Amino acid sequence: MEQDTITAISTPIGEGAIAIVRLSGDEAIPITNRIFTKDLEQVESHTIHYGNIIDPKSDEKVEEVMISVMRAPKTFTRENVIEINCHGGMVSVNRVLQLVLREGARLAEPGEFTKRAFINGRIDLSQAEAVMDLIRSKTDRAMSVALKQMDGRLSQLIRDLRQQLIETVAHVEVNIDYPEYDDVEEMTHELLTERAHYVKGEIAKLLQTAKQGKILREGIATAIIGKPNVGKSSLMNILAHENKAIVTDIPGTTRDVIEEYVNVRGVPLRLIDTAGIRETEDIVEKIGVERSRQALTEADLILLVLNGNEPFSKEDEALFEAASDLDVIVIVNKTDLEQKIDMNQVTKKASGAPIITTSLIEEQGIDELEQAIADTFFDGELDSGDLTYVSNVRHIQLLEQAEQSLADALNSIEMGMPLDLVQIDITRTWELLGEIIGEDVHESLIDQLFSQFCLGK
C-alpha cells in the first residue's frame, strides 16, 4: 500500500552537536534531492553523503549537512528513509524541516515511523511498544527488559502459545465435522484439558513477572514522609546523589512536593520528598502538607522517617496509621545524636516492616536501606537473564483475560459440556493473545497506542 512521505525532527529540541530530520516514504529521496547539492538517486543504499541544503527558490545555502540514504526494504519502516544530519541549533534544523515540508513531505504524527514499521510487517505490536519502553528506561535492567521485548522474545512465546491453541481448535473441528474418520486423533476431554492447563500455566508464569516488570517500566512511586526536620530532604539528596532539596535545621523548610527519579540497585524509584506533615498556621506550608497527604495515597512505597533524637510522639503514631496497608520501610535517623526514641514502640508500630537506623549526616545505614528496598520488591535480586518479563499494562490485562477464558474452558470441561462449546473459550483465548502482538487488534487501538510515542520516532 503506497503511503505519503512523512518527516519530523527525530532528536530532542534544543541546542546540541547534531539534530536529525528524518523522512520515510516513496518520495523521501526525490524530495531530499531537490534541496541537496548531490544527486542521491544514483548513490548506493546505506551510505552517507556530505553537502549543502539549498533553498530552490532563492539558491540560498541553508545548512551544511551529512545525509544518510537507506533504501527499502532494509530500513526501520521498510520504506525509503533519509536522515539529514544538521548542526544542532533550533533555527537551522527548523529551516531544513520547513524546506522538506515545502517540497511535499507531511509532518509525521507521534510514533508514525514506528507505526509504519508495524504496518509494514517489520515488527509486531509488542515489539513496537518496546521501542517506547526502551526510550523511557530509567535503569539498565529496565533497558535490558525492553531490548529483549524488541528482539521478539515475548512475541515468540505468545506465538507458540497461540499455535498450541489453534492446533487444539483444529482437532476439535475435525472431530466435529468428520467423526467417521477413524484415523483422525480423537480430541478427548482429557487431551483438551491437558493442553488448556499447559497454556494457562505458561500465561500464569508470565503474569508472575508482571509486578516486577511493571516496576521496571514505570518505577516505584516512593513517598518520603515524616515530621518536619527529621531528615527527609537529606535522604532524598543522598539517594539522588545530588542536592535536589534544601536542607536546613529550620522545621518546615520543604514547602512543596519534590520529585526525582533515582536508581536503587537497578530498581527505579520515583522519589517524592514531601513537606513535613504537621499542624501549621502557615498558609504556604499548609498547602504543602495537604499535597504530602495526597502523595501518600498515590505511593507504592513509603519511607517513613523518624527522629531518633526525639521521643516517639503522637505525630509519629499518626504517620504509621496514615501509611497502614502500604509497603513501608521505617527509617530511624540521627543515630549520631543521643537516642531518645523508644525502639520498642517503633517495632510495635512497624508491625513487621523493615526498620533501618541511619545517620544521614554521616551517610551511615544507606546500604542497608537500599537492600531493604530491593528486598521489598524483588526479594533482593532481579533475574534479568532468561526470564521474559511482562511490563506493559495492556499486555497484563490481555493475559489476565486470556487466563480467565482458559479457566472458563476448563470449568466447562469439568461440567461435561460439548467440545464445540468449550472451543468458544479456547478460540477467545487465541484472539486475546493475538491482540498482544497485533494479530487481532482494532485500528483505533493502534492509533491510540502510537499517539503516545515521541514525535519523530
- 74 occurs within a structural domain: yes
Based on the fold, state whether residues 266 and 339 are members of the same structural domain.
yes
Please tell me the distance from the alpha carbon of residue 149 to that of residue 135, in angstroms, as a whole number. 13
pLDDT given for residue 319 in this prediction: 83
What is the pLDDT of the chain when averaged over all its residues?
81
Please tell me the distance from the alpha carbon of residue 47 to that of residue 310, in angstroms, as a whole number. 69
Residue of 45 and 256 predicted with greater confidence: 45
Residue of 121 and 29 predicted with greater confidence: 29
pLDDT at 69 exceeding the cut of 80: yes
Structural contact between residues 236 and 244, judged by C-beta atoms closer than 8 angstroms: yes
Structural contact between residues 21 and 97, judged by C-beta atoms closer than 8 angstroms: yes
Residue of 157 and 168 predicted with greater confidence: 157
Based on the fold, state whether residues 374 and 231 are members of the same structural domain.
yes
The residue among 396, 393, 399, 391 whose CA lies nearest residue 217 is: 391
- 346 occurs within a structural domain: yes
Based on the fold, state whether residues 342 and 362 are members of the same structural domain.
yes
Q: Is the pTM of this model over 0.75?
A: no
Question: If you ran DSSP here, which 8-state letter would residue 36 be given?
Answer: B
The residue among 439, 415, 406 whose CA lies nearest residue 202 is: 406
SS3 content of the chain, % helix, strand, coil (to 5): 45, 20, 35
- 124 occurs within a structural domain: no
The residue among 201, 190, 199, 160 whose CA lies nearest residue 426 is: 199
Confidence band of 242 (pLDDT split at 50, 70, 90): low
Confidence band of 442 (pLDDT split at 50, 70, 90): low
- 116 occurs within a structural domain: no
Based on the fold, state whether residues 97 and 204 are members of the same structural domain.
no
Least confident of 9-18, 142-151, 355-364, 421-430: 142-151
- DSSP codes joined into one string, 166-215: HHHHHHHHHHHH-TT-TTSPP--HHHHHHHHHHHHHHHHHHHHTHHHHHH
Structural contact between residues 268 and 216, judged by C-beta atoms closer than 8 angstroms: yes
Angle at the Cα of 72 from the Cα atoms of 66 and 73, rounded to 5 degrees: 130
Structural contact between residues 429 and 165, judged by C-beta atoms closer than 8 angstroms: yes
Structural contact between residues 111 and 454, judged by C-beta atoms closer than 8 angstroms: yes
| Cβ neighbours of residue 62 closer than 8 Å, sequence gap 6 or more | 35, 52, 53, 54, 55, 92, 95, 96, 99
Domain count within the chain: 3
- 272 occurs within a structural domain: yes
Based on the fold, state whether residues 53 and 198 are members of the same structural domain.
no
| Cβ neighbours of residue 106 closer than 8 Å, sequence gap 6 or more | 4, 5, 6, 7
pLDDT given for residue 161 in this prediction: 93
Question: Using one digit for the tens of pLDDT, what is the confidence trace for 323-365?
Answer: 887 889 999 999 999 999 999 999 999 988 999 999 988 889 9
Most confident of the ranges 41-55, 172-186, 282-296, 418-432: 41-55
pLDDT at 67 exceeding the cut of 80: yes
Handedness of CA 19, 21, 22, 28 (dihedral sign): negative
- 230 occurs within a structural domain: yes
pLDDT given for residue 63 in this prediction: 94
CATH of the domain at 321: 3.40.50.300
The residue among 345, 302, 306 whose CA lies nearest residue 324 is: 302
pLDDT given for residue 279 in this prediction: 47
All three cell numbers of 174, joined, read: 475435525
